[in-house]
Amino acid sequence: MLIFERSLNFTRNGKRSKLMNTRIKVIFVGSFREIVGKREIVEEINSNSTLKHVLDKLARRYGRDFKQIVDPQTRAVSLEFLVSINGRVTRDTNIKLNNEDILMITIPAGGG
């Protein structure tokens, strides 16, 4: 049983702990910026959140293209989208996010 005390402290079986607030910046490019209506947002997440948790949260909030970022069969970022964390492109949705990480979501540029 958890008993919350003040904003960041809680007790579990008589032991006192600190909750970690983790904030990440999410940058939207292209059609994602149009859907959200902003270039970037700051998301507060649990300290053990993964990329999948954040992408699911964005899909619930914004719908549309956000629901297609994660391939339901592979559970990885679909090849139709580009997701980077701190400038490193990733397809792995199980990556744990850290405080002050910068997540960017876009569609790869086509060429020819």
Q: Domains in the chain, ordered, with CATH? A: 18-106 (3.10.20.30)
Q: What was the pLDDT predicted at 65?
A: 87
Mean residue pLDDT across the chain: 85
Q: What was the pLDDT predicted at 55?
A: 97
Record the pTM: 0.79
Q: What was the pLDDT predicted at 6?
A: 35
Q: Which of 14-18, 19-23, 58-62, 79-83 has the lowest mean pLDDT?
A: 14-18
SS (H, E, C) the chain: CEEEECCCEEEECCEEEECCCEEEEEEECCHHHHHHCCCEEEEEECCCCEHHHHHHHHHHHHCHHHHHCECCCCCCECCCCEEEECCEECCCCCCECCCCCEEEEECCCCCC
pLDDT tens across 66-101, in order?
999 999 999 999 999 999 999 999 999 999 999 999
